[in-house]
Structure 1
Amino acid sequence: MRFATIRHGGTLTGARVEGDRVVLVDADNAVDALLRQDRLRDTGEVDAATAHYARVSPDPAHILCVGLNYRSHIQQLGRPAPRFPTFFAKFPSTLTGPRDRIVLPAVSDRVEGEVELAVVIGQPLHRATPTEAAAAMAGFTVTNDLSLRDWQHRTTEALQGKVFDRSTPLGPVLVTPDEVDDARDLALSFSVDGVPWQRGSTSDLLFSPAELVAYCSTFLTLRPGDVILTGTPGVTAEAASMVPGQTMTTFIEGIGTAVNPTDRDPFPDTRHDTRHTWEEGRPG
């Protein structure tokens, strides 16, 4: 089954997606609709082509992201395969819709997109086995982990280059695992203005979605609506830094496509001022 979160009448509502039909239901969002699917009441219908898709999980308690999880990407970087998953976190303020415009921050000279399969949690989960973790997954969706590389590599911690406001599209739909064979072998790609910058397959994942969910549940209690980004494949020779006005297309086979135009930042580049202030305040 497929569910979505739709912005309709100035508010968010859950919806059931049936081909070209988007049936609005009495649920707060896609995750709520999936969890209550046997008790839903239809409240209206919108055209799938013109529906305003919002982020699938509007306010997750946890957003966990995995680096170095595609074997081909690890080889491309010339690094050894990690023994354990490499995690960083995001915040709900980072999320945006799969059709929304994204402002490219003027404070960065290196903005790159990353196609990622996202897992959405459907049940509370703590200290789970991979089998239990698989049963607790509500489904999968598409995400783009837009990354500001110059900020990411300022320190050994990636967080500051990964959490700019409204920089991570999530959607358009939440697809139950049975519809996509538990995402074992799905083609995925990231393109800019029609030029592929990434290609890959989920069959290349080092740690499977169920393994990642189980691992996360060891150190925190996962909640319904939580999101886990499972990593990104390597890049093509055409990959470069984004510039305002380009359009990003993030695709995963069997799930869907996020299409996000980009805009110029209305705020000035303050890096010089910030650097000057920081240098003045540093101890000698």
Structure 2
Amino acid sequence: MAYATFEIDGRRRVGVVERSDHAADRLVPLDGLVELGPSTTADVLADTRRLEDEAVGVDEVRLCPVVPNPGKIICIGLNYHEHVGETGRDLPTYPVMFTKFPSALIGPYEDIVAPPETTEIDYEAEMALVIGRPGRRIPREQAHEHILGYTVANDISMRDYQRKTHQWLQGKTWDRSTPIGPYLFTPQEVPDIADACIRTVLDGNVLQEALVSQLIFDIPHLIETISEFTTLLPGDVILTGTPGGVGMKRQPPIFLGDGDRITVEIEGLGSLTNTVRNERV
């Protein structure tokens, strides 16, 4: 099963995705649900009545960030071998973590806002997961029981701001900078997610490409590690890291600017494409 958060006629809703190879996907609203998040556990989604007579085409709606208001957004850095190598850092023995704020999130096809203060806007293809069952000190053997689903994200980074301190926060969570979506796929829908290819494409050129299985710290390890120090709650989002090929490490560097269209795709989860637009201040 796949789900989406969408808006139509000024009203936000949650829909079950009915995919099609020959026409636009359909969204079947779930009665009374306004967005995926803390209140939409797997049980709630499974038990909520589908409003078949209110189904709409995905091309008739605005797709929101798949989880618009997560309680926590925890991001993992340096989690692919090639990316660690290109940064010249030692291989981490413990996951590198930072956070984002919900105000950073945008929908899968919305514009990435380029603030005037930065000149180094970088892309980072990432697979994200959403928690569907609360837990603290979750053993890796039980981690899969706490996953609501998987989706696609682009961890847009303002590198000049990221380098200002040893902490990365100020470079990672600018308003309206982080696309996530388009859909949330349950683990049952993508049982072989570790074999999926993740890539970034800019102007027809593949800039990043790897398999999810190449993560240094796999998904069960991340859930076990994070839940050791904080309770993971439904709707919490974890971004799992980006492969090698980021713009700041290319020669010459590739940074995004006004009008650039950047695509991140993951096999089995779909893709998001966003245009960079200068912020009007």
- TM-score between both structures, scaled by the size of structure 1: 0.89
Question: Which of 101, 104, 124 is 1:91 aligned to?
Answer: 101
Structure 1 residues 84 and 117, CA, compared in 2 at 3 Å: closer, same or farther?
same
Structure 1 residues 228 and 33, CA, compared in 2 at 3 Å: closer, same or farther?
closer
CA contact (8 A) 2:8 2:60 kept: no
Tell me the equivalent position of 2:195. Answer: 185
Tell me the equivalent position of 1:39. Answer: 47
Letter in 2 for 1:3: Y
- Name the count of aligned residue pairs: 267
Tell me the equivalent position of 1:7. Answer: 7
Letter in 1 for 2:28: V
Matches of 2:12 and 2:200 in 1, distance apart?
Answer: 27
Q: How does 1:122-271 map to 2 (within 5 A)?
A: 122-181=132-191, 183-235=193-245, 237=250, 240-267=254-281
Matches of 2:88 and 2:204 in 1, distance apart?
Answer: 28
- TM-score between both structures, scaled by the size of structure 2: 0.90
Does residue 103 in structure 1 map to residue 109 in structure 2? no
Matches of 1:156 and 1:92 in 2, distance apart?
Answer: 22
Matches of 2:275 and 2:173 in 1, distance apart?
Answer: 19
Unaligned stretches of 5+ residues in structure 1: 268-284
Matches of 1:159 and 1:47 in 2, distance apart?
Answer: 37
| 1:249 alignment partner, SS class | strand
Deviation at 1:50, TM superposition (A): 4.0
| 2:190 alignment partner, SS class | helix
| 1:131 alignment partner, SS class | helix
Unaligned stretches of 5+ residues in structure 2: 20-24
Deviation at 1:81, TM superposition (A): 1.3
Matches of 2:273 and 2:3 in 1, distance apart?
Answer: 18
Tell me the equivalent position of 1:25. Answer: 30
**Over aligned residue pairs, what C-alpha RMSD do you find?**
1.6
Letter in 1 for 2:91: A
Matches of 1:130 and 1:96 in 2, distance apart?
Answer: 31
Which piece of structure 1 moves more, 121-130 or 72-81?
72-81
Q: Which has the larger radius of gyration?
A: 1
| 1:172 alignment partner, SS class | strand
Spell out, residue by residue over 1:134-165, the C-alpha distance to the aligned partner (whole angstroms, 9 max, x if none).
11000100001000000000111111000100
CA contact (8 A) 1:69 1:232 kept: yes
Deviation at 1:12, TM superposition (A): 1.6
Identity across matched positions, percent? 39
